[in-house]
Every structure is written in C-alpha cells, then in structure tokens.
Amino acid sequence: MAEVHSCLVAVTPISPTDSRPRLVINADDFGYFPEVTRGIERCVNAGTVTATSIIVHRDTPRSVFDSARRLDAIDIGVHLNLTCGHPLTPALQNSLGSFSSKFSLLPNLVSRRISLNMINDEWAAQIEVVRDQGIPVRFLNSHEHLHMFPGLFKRFTSLARRFSVEWIRVCSPEWTLSGSPGHWVRTAVFAATGAMASAPADLRSARLVGIAPSGRLNLDYMKSLVRTLRPGSSYELMCHPGLGETEAAGNLNEYHDWSGEQGLLTGPELPALLNDANVHLCTFSNA
C-alpha cells in the first residue's frame, strides 16, 4: 500500500480580509467504481480532497452512501448523471433499461424523444436519493459536464434553487498550448456553451480549473496553475483519483490515470506546493 501523507486542510472560515487564493479540490465520480470510491476516500483522509460528488443511478450500492456519510469533514455534492448505469426514472430507460450514450442524448433531445422535463425529473430524483440517505447536498455538477448544454443549464440552476443548493459548477475553457484531442474538443465546447451559461446572481460558482489535464492531473500542471491563482479569488480544481485501472471501466482506463492522480493527491509534493504559494485549501462551505 502506498504511503499516505497528511497535509492538514485549512477548513476554518476565511476572514474577509484574507487575500489568499482559495482552492477547493473536488473529486468527481464518487461511486463510479469501487476503486474510484476508495481512492477518493484515501485522498480525503490525506487532507487534500475537500469535496466530492456522488454519481447516482438505480444500482448505486448502499455502501456508497454509507461511505459518503463518513466523509463529514468535506462537502458532498451530486454528480448529475444521464449516461452511466440505469436511470431512476423509467422515462429515460432505453430498450435495455439503461441510459443512452452521451452521443445519442443530444439527437434524442432535438428529436424530442427525450424531453427536458424527463431530464429534470431524473436529476431531481438523483438529488432526492442522496438527501434521503441523510447526506447534505452542498453543490451540484454533472457527469461529462452535460449540464452546460443549452436548455439543460436552465434546468440545472432551477434544481439548485429548488433544493437550496448554493454552489454549482460552471465550466469554462482552459486554454493551453498542448493537450489531447479530447481536451481540445472540451475546450471548444466550453467556449461555446460558456458564452450562454453563467452562474445566476443567487447561486455561487468558483472558477473551474483542471479541465486541461482532465483525467491526468499532475504536478507540472499544478506548478503552472498556482502561478495564475489570483489573490482573494475562489477556484475549484476538478480531479479524478482512484486506486488504479479497473476492468469494469473499459476504455475509460485509456484517458484516466486514476492511480497517478491519487499519488499526487496523497503525496507530499502538492501540500508543499500549495503552502509555498500561500493557497488556502478549503471546502465550498468556507470558500
């Protein structure tokens, strides 16, 4: 077992006069695979991950919610899902009882085989499941960032209000000189959708970072990032730690370095880097 280094996250409220950059390290996909869930738990115990979002579908094991309730020192959110597993609501089930793929979702919306009301009902059911398990929902985001698409973002923000969730994720492009083809596709999509979607005045959103190396967060990226963080501003670093490749993940293993991210988030280099850069590591609740 790899050594885990504790870094003592600063989770106390920040004074209005504190000018340090504020960073929430948010692990997506809690409950995706057992190896991912255990990897996130290990990062929380190391003191670096300060928030995580649960991905919910009909077959989400009860153990996922049991594990999440034990993470009471961090913020828990819902990773709203339209493509992974079996829907909670019958209206979104395909002929196999599963969600359709992300590639068929938008054509189905355009052709009205799937309505915005169906998606709204499914997402509401996912939030209710988490709340019914006794887990306070502090923020919302979505699997594969689908909430950013036109029409869906309005439903997304309406659900945040309905369930009194203050923090939401708003994706924006992160331009770099290098990156995978997937990165450039995401960047182009976020550039287009971000122009049409912004956090309403009654909801809060930290500037999202970690888009460029998505799935392969590394120390070199973090060294570049900390130089760009502005004093007094709040940021959300998206990450995807895990214990390593899992057979169930299939081709997801090709662009996720689960164990590499976990090594970064449980090793000594990242806490030292954040301390040297005078970055305040915090939860959404005290950002």
C-alpha 116/C-alpha 151 separation (Å) is: 7
- 16 in any annotated domain: no
SS3 204: strand
In a domain, 31, yes or no: yes
Give me the pLDDT at residue 184, please: 53
Number of compact structural domains in the chain: 1
Helices 269-276, 219-226: axis angle to 10 degrees equals 10
- Domain for residue 13, yes or no? no
Residue 4 lies in a domain: no
66 inside domain: yes
Tens of pLDDT, residues 271-284 = 999 999 999 999 99
Distance CA 124, CA 129 (A): 9
Find the domain containing 253 and state its range.
22-286
pLDDT at 149: 86
Question: Is the Cα torsion angle 32, 38, 42, 45 positive or negative in sign?
Answer: positive
- Dihedral of alpha carbons 246, 147, 125, 104, sign: negative
Q: Cα separation of 193 and 88, whole Å?
A: 27
Asked if residue 168 lies in contact with residue 149, where contact means CB atoms within 8 angstroms, the answer is no
CATH number of the domain within which 237 lies: 3.20.20.370
Query: Which residues face 59 on adjacent strands?
Result: none
Those residues of the chain that have pLDDT short of 70 are 1-17, 173, 175-197, 245, 247-250, 253
Question: What's the pLDDT at 105?
Answer: 84
Residue 5 lies in a domain: no
pLDDT at 179: 55
Task: Specify the DSSP element, H or E, that contains 219.
Answer: helix 219-226
- CB neighbours (10 Å) of residue 129? 18
The DSSP call for residue 5 is -
147 in a domain, yes or no? yes
Residue 151 has what pLDDT?
Answer: 87
Token pair of 249, please? 């993940």
pLDDT at 178: 54
Amino acid (1-letter code) at residue 191:
A
DSSP E strands in the chain: the ranges are 22-30, 51-54, 75-80, 139-142, 167-168, 207-209, 234-239, 280-281
142 domain residue, yes or no = yes
